[in-house]
Amino acid sequence: MGFIFQIIRDIDPKLKYLIDTFTLLGFIWTTKTLFSLVGSTLSGLRIFLWSRLWRLNLKKKYGEWVVITGATDGIGLEYAREFASRGHSLILIGRNETKLDNVKRQLSSLVSSNKIVTVQADFNESTPELFKRISTELEPYQSEIGILVNNAGVMFESPNRFMDQPEDMVWQHVKVNITGVLMMTRVVLPGMINRRRGLVINMSSIAGFKPLPLMGVYSASKKFVEWFSNTLDYEYCKSHNIDVQTLVPSYVSTKMTKWSNFLQKPNITTPDARSFARSAIATIGRTKFTTGYWSHGIQWFAFEWLCPSWMYSFMSWNYLRNIDSSGRRAKDT
């Protein structure tokens, strides 16, 4: 390569300045990337390792009662289990009354059953009346609710083009992933404002990092959650001492990913719900924006620094098609 550069210099000495400029730019980019890598590594160790060794008292910091949506399965259930093990009282919100009762029985070994309240609500039926009812049921606990976990969410039954997805599922993404987050925050936030402390955890996704072909509506709904979280934190953190944490995990092995046999098998990049929840809950008070799991953090760094948008779209398109086991795989044309 140096031989080629020397030939160019011999042909036109003026090109020397151009070559030197590009060399300097390359050095600056490489240095910046290395510093970012070191910084991200140290930050990752602090968030994902140190936080597990030095656990914060979340009950003392934010309050006793925790509201969790989508609490009967997957990540929501494991969040409930983790908070219960830390001595928190729980308000569990889910669609299925029977499942809510079963979860309450499961968790009664960790916390007294009279410290577990269940609220049946289907966000797919989102109406002003639904959230008024939820607000009424939560009213006796408003002065003590310290943490809200906006976990409830939906995902398409398989990756596919927009017009090949069921229309009812498109509506569910709006009602559950967006409206549910907004309105539950409006229900719970006033009590936190009055107490001048609290924590809102919003479940976004790494799918919102960049536009995600074949999961476009899901990706967009999660980007909405991320931006809403960022603005909410700016509006209420300094003025009212309310933290807002945005979670942007990659794939977790839950029922939401049942369309892929590959994602149903927990591995180093796809943890099960319990492993993810244990890791994510430890990051509370350490960071306001996190993937929640160490290997997901590595994925985020790689996407941010090594993967331009065109490459991300190309890779995502092929990856989603290849891991789709639903029998409804998107066609090339």
Could you tell me which residues come within 8 angstroms of residue 115 by beta carbon, excluding any fewer than 6 positions away?
A: 89, 90
- Distance of alpha carbon 180 from alpha carbon 45, whole angstroms: 33
Is the Cβ–Cβ distance between 294 and 48 less than 8 Å? Answer: yes
CA atoms within a 13 Å half-sphere pointing along the CA-CB vector of 133: 12
- Distance of alpha carbon 117 from alpha carbon 137, whole angstroms: 10
What strand order describes the sheet that includes 198-203? 116-120, 89-94, 65-69, 145-150, 198-203, 242-247, 289-290
Q: Which single residue is written with the structure tokens 């942007």?
A: 248
Beta bridge mates, 149: 68, 201
CA 77 to chain centre: 15
Contacts of residues 166-170 at CB distance under 8 Å and 24 or more positions apart, as own/partner, are: 170/217
Name the DSSP letter for residue 173: I
Active site (annotated) includes residue 218: yes
Beta bridge mates, 50: none
Total residues belonging to the chain? 333
Out of 218, 236, 251, 293, pick the active-site residue: 218
- Distance of alpha carbon 307 from alpha carbon 178, whole angstroms: 28
- Distance of alpha carbon 238 from alpha carbon 243, whole angstroms: 9
| Residues recognised as catalytic | 218
